[in-house]
């Protein structure tokens, strides 16, 4: 029997998944969280909710996780911008994961899904970017491709199986608390504080508080229109250089220097050397030539009026969000900064 308001959060030990579970529990909503490995429980051990093992690459595990569930928050995905084999490790995992998720929901009788897409699935050719601009025509990055094609597939399958599906598209999520490992976006804040971004890349990010995104996901579940997409971001992006200025003002004692301007060929050379090193170590490089080609100079400014009007989404100021994230990392140095 479907529980009237039982919610399943997939990827429950990720940055958004964990914050979303906490938000739903605070609202008195019964929550089931799914993770790939139940032993990896540091981020949810104290939470009063049911935890189950499930993997987006294993449809049967998802069907079991969705038993009696009213709303699925599809958060779990391969979120990485670099891999040794990006097609296999990122694109195929996310596409197959989306197919498995919707088919499992149909098999389990789930009627509503909040599908976590990404601002990667937006078209930046006209600013400010809005949902109705359509999908991203830039096909150079496998994570971006997986988000564009995954969202499209999710809508198609949901329609086919008569499931109400709402897509939310968050930007770079940070915030005043982190559970488990630091997310990709949070790592950038850490790199600024540990003085590991020496050169100016002209890359800007749209910072948003993860708690606001979690609230946006919940609002999408109760107010979002099926078949629609909602941007969960701030209106203006902030460059890494401007983000570094925030760190300078907050922590003058750290003597953080602003990234140095270098000619673009030097920037490309530095990125190429990092990539070459990564092929040997298997660890993600700080910067890739593709990052520069795709993101240097790209403005991630959004028209968020649809999410504001239809959902009541109201994100915290991005500079305030950055400050809170930096203060949190510095207060928990032993846990995050020395790793």
Whether residue 339 has pLDDT greater than 70:
no
**pLDDT for position 44:** 86
CATH of domain 7-183+208-234+301-315: 3.40.50.720
> How far apart, in whole angstroms, are the C-alpha atoms of residue 169 and residue 116?
6
Of all residues in the chain, what percent carry a pLDDT higher than 90?
A: 85
Whether residue 236 has pLDDT greater than 90:
yes
**pLDDT for position 79:** 83
Mean pLDDT of 95-112: 97
* Residues in a beta bridge with 8: 32, 72
- Three-state secondary structure readout of the chain: CCCCCCEEEECCCCHHHHHHHHHHHHCCCCEEEEECCCCCCCCCCCCCCEEEECCCCCHHHHHHHCCCCCEEEECCCCCCCCCCCHHHHHHHHHHHHHHHHHHHHHHHCCCEEEEECCHHHCCCCCCCECHHHCCCCCCCCHHHHHHHHHHHHHHHHHHHCCCEEEEEEECEEECCCCCCCCCHHHHHHHHHHCCCCCECCCEEECEEEHHHHHHHHHHHHHHCCCCCEEEECCCCCEEHHHHHHHHHHHCHHHCCCCCECCCHHHHHHHHHHHHHHHHHHCCCCCCCHHHHHHHECCCCCECCHHHHHHHCCCCCCHHHHHHHHHHHHHHCHHHHCCC
Whether residue 2 has pLDDT greater than 70:
no
Per-residue pLDDT tens over the stretch 121-143: 999 999 999 999 999 999 999 99
Mean pLDDT of 298-309: 97
> How far apart, in whole angstroms, are the C-alpha atoms of residue 99 and residue 110?
15
Q: What is the mean pLDDT of the chain?
A: 94
For residues 141-158, one letter each, b for 16 or more C-beta atoms within 10 angstroms of the residue's C-beta and e for the rest, the string is bbbbbbbbbbbebbbebb
> How far apart, in whole angstroms, are the C-alpha atoms of residue 117 and residue 151?
6
Q: Supply φ then ψ for residue 272, to 5 degrees.
A: -65, -40
Per-residue pLDDT tens over the stretch 146-185: 999 999 999 999 999 999 999 999 999 999 988 888 888 9
Listed by start position, the domains of the chain span: 7-183+208-234+301-315
Q: What is the dihedral angle through the alpha carbons of 101, 152, 2, 307, rounded to the nearest 10 degrees?
A: 130
Of all residues in the chain, what percent carry a pLDDT higher than 70?
A: 98
> How far apart, in whole angstroms, are the C-alpha atoms of residue 111 and residue 161?
9
CA angle 213, 159, 156 (to 5 degrees): 75
pLDDT confidence band for 82 (50 / 70 / 90)? confident
Which of 124, 96, 59 lies closest to 300 in space, CA to CA?
Answer: 124
Per-residue pLDDT tens over the stretch 41-73: 888 888 899 999 999 999 999 999 999 999 999
Q: Supply φ then ψ for residue 288, to 5 degrees.
A: -120, 160
Whether residue 1 has pLDDT greater than 60:
no
pLDDT confidence band for 25 (50 / 70 / 90)? very high
């Amino acid at each position: 029997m479907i529980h009237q308001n039982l919610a399943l959060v997939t990827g429950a030990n990720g940055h958004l998944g964990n914050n979303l579970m906490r938000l739903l529990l605070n609202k008195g909503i019964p929550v089931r969280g799914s993770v790939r490995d139940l032993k990896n429980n540091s981020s949810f051990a104290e939470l009063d909710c049911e935890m189950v093992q499930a993997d987006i690459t294993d449809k049967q595990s998802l069907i079991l996780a969705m038993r009696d569930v009213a709303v699925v928050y599809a958060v779990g995905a391969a979120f990485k911008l670099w891999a040794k084999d990006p097609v296999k490790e990122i694109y195929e995992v996310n596409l197959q994961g989306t197919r498995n998720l919707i088919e499992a929901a149909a098999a389990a009788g789930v009627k509503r899904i909040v599908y976590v897409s990404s601002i990667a699935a937006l078209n930046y050719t006209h600013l400010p970017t809005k949902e109705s601009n359509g999908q991203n025509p830039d096909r150079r990055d496998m994570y971006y491709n997986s988000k564009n094609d995954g969202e499209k597939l999710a809508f198609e399958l949901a329609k086919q199986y008569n499931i109400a599906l709402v897509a939310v598209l968050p930007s770079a999520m940070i915030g005043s608390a982190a559970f488990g490992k630091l997310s990709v976006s949070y790592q950038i804040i850490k790199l600024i504080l540990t003085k590991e971004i020496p050169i100016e890349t002209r890359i800007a990010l749209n910072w948003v508080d993860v708690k606001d995104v979690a609230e946006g996901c919940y609002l999408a579940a109760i107010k979002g229109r099926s078949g629609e997409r909602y941007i969960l971001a701030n209106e203006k992006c902030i460059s890494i250089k401007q983000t570094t200025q925030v760190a300078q003002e907050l922590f003058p004692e750290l003597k953080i220097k602003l990234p140095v301007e270098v000619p673009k060929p030097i920037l490309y050379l530095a990125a190429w050397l990092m990539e070459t090193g990564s092929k040997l170590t298997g660890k993600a490089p700080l910067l890739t030539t593709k990052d520069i080609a795709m993101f240097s100079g790209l403005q991630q400014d959004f028209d968020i009026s649809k999410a504001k009007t239809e959902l009541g989404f109201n994100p915290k100021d991005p500079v305030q969000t950055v400050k809170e994230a930096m203060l949190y990392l510095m207060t928990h140095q032993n846990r995050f900064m020395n790793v």
